[in-house]
Structure 1
């Protein structure tokens, strides 16, 4: 007889998801392999999710809802599951980010997480999270769902020019990432500027930071170090960083000029290059 691992549904969102999946599958009279056939995956994957050994993706949850006719229950739950995969010190920020009406961020090394492509995110997270890379990438992509809401937050991003030149994941990944950024120009509630090298010293010299604003709650300032994040609503910090951000916006290229720079870097640095065996033709 198969030894079935018993889960404590209250232990974590992942355990609750697994226990509910098993309960709903058994109520439908389906074996793991049968359910797998219906949603185009293996019975082994169903078993791994049911025993909390595998983190489900949003696509997986949506297919389960359709197969078991659970009225979107798993699709609603999977957001909590994926958020629980974020580092514990980052989870509170992710919750506040999802509630914010206005996000202002300056990034000095990397593309802001909400604007990253999946391949770029995988390259970034793979440096430190290789043992749970799929889960971390899925969690980062889940964060981006706030941009697809009926009423998304206003997102104003200032990227240091260095971000465009820092090759993350190889030329192909960077080309795709910069193309993605170009596609954001002209989007409602989205602005993107590049702070050029020519700006010299500036108000973001201490590093990346983000300001979150809400309709009814105090604004928050967030920055992070290697293994922790710091969030504060201190009015003096908000005042100083708000002024600092306004100065960054003033010193950055205009959105039109920023788009032109991104397009130029994309083609000149990450464009198609001739292979080593290429020969010029006279």
Structure 2
């Protein structure tokens, strides 16, 4: 007799999702294989999701809603499921980020997570999460849904020039990533500036950071750490970092010139006729 792992639906959003999937499947009198055929996937995948061994995708959740006519229950649930895959220390920031009206960020190493392609994100996340790449990429793509909201936040990004030159994931991955950045050129809600090497010492030599502004709550400063993030609403810190960020913006290339530089690096360094040097 096959032992079926019993889930505690209160243990986590992932367990709750799997529990509800199995409950509705059994109530409908369907085997895992039968439900798999309806959802265009394998019965094995259904079994893995029902036992919380596999993280479902948003597409899977939407198909599940259609199959069981659950009026978007699983589609609404999937956001919590994917956010739960983020590191515990990062989840509070992700929740605040999703509520922000204005996001300002300086990035000195990699493209900000809200603007990453799935391929670039996978290459970045593979360094620290080699056994959870699929789940972590799905969680990062879920974060990006805030840019699709009817009232999306205004996002201002300052990228160190090194971000454009650091080859992550290979030339094709970098080309697609830079192409995505260029595509934001005419987006009024996402503004990208490049801080050139010629700037020398600047107001963020200590590293990357984010500033979140809200309609009704105090501003938040956030910076990453290896095992935890640092988040504060201390007015003194907010004032100092806000002034520092304004200095970064003043020293960076304009949005238009930044887009031109990104496009040039994309073609000259990562295009079909790539050269070794980019002026």
d(CA) in 2 for partners of 1:124, 1:189: 25
In the other structure, the counterpart of 2:71 is 71
TM-score normalized by structure 1?
0.96
Q: Tell me whether 1:158 sits opposite 2:138 in the alignment.
A: no
Kindly tell me the number of residue pairs found equivalent between the two proteins.
Answer: 274
In the other structure, the counterpart of 1:218 is 218
Structure 1 range deviating more: 99-108 or 219-228: 219-228
SS in 1 for 2:272: coil
In the other structure, the counterpart of 1:169 is 169
d(CA) in 2 for partners of 1:116, 1:164: 13
Q: Report the alpha carbon displacement of residue 4 of structure 1 after superposing the two structures with TM.
A: 1.2
d(CA) in 1 for partners of 2:254, 2:188: 16
Structure 2 counterparts to residues 38-77 of structure 1, below 5 A: 38-77=38-77
In the other structure, the counterpart of 1:263 is 263
d(CA) in 2 for partners of 1:155, 1:145: 13
Q: Report the alpha carbon displacement of residue 141 of structure 1 after superposing the two structures with TM.
A: 0.5
In the other structure, the counterpart of 1:183 is 183
TM-score normalized by structure 2?
0.97
d(CA) in 1 for partners of 2:50, 2:112: 33
Q: Is the 8 A contact 2:267 2:273 kept in 1?
A: no
In the other structure, the counterpart of 2:277 is none
Q: Tell me whether 1:201 sits opposite 2:208 in the alignment.
A: no
SS in 2 for 1:212: strand
Q: Tell me whether 1:120 sits opposite 2:120 in the alignment.
A: yes
Q: Is the 8 A contact 2:32 2:47 kept in 1?
A: yes
SS in 1 for 2:11: coil
Give the CA RMSD over aligned residues.
Answer: 0.8
Q: Report the alpha carbon displacement of residue 103 of structure 1 after superposing the two structures with TM.
A: 0.1
Could you tell me which runs of 5 or more consecutive residues in structure 1 were left unpaired when the two chains were aligned: 275-282
SS in 2 for 1:106: strand
Could you tell me which runs of 5 or more consecutive residues in structure 2 were left unpaired when the two chains were aligned: 275-279
Q: Is the 8 A contact 2:36 2:42 kept in 1?
A: yes
In the other structure, the counterpart of 1:279 is none
Structure 1 range deviating more: 105-114 or 265-274: 265-274
SS in 2 for 1:222: strand
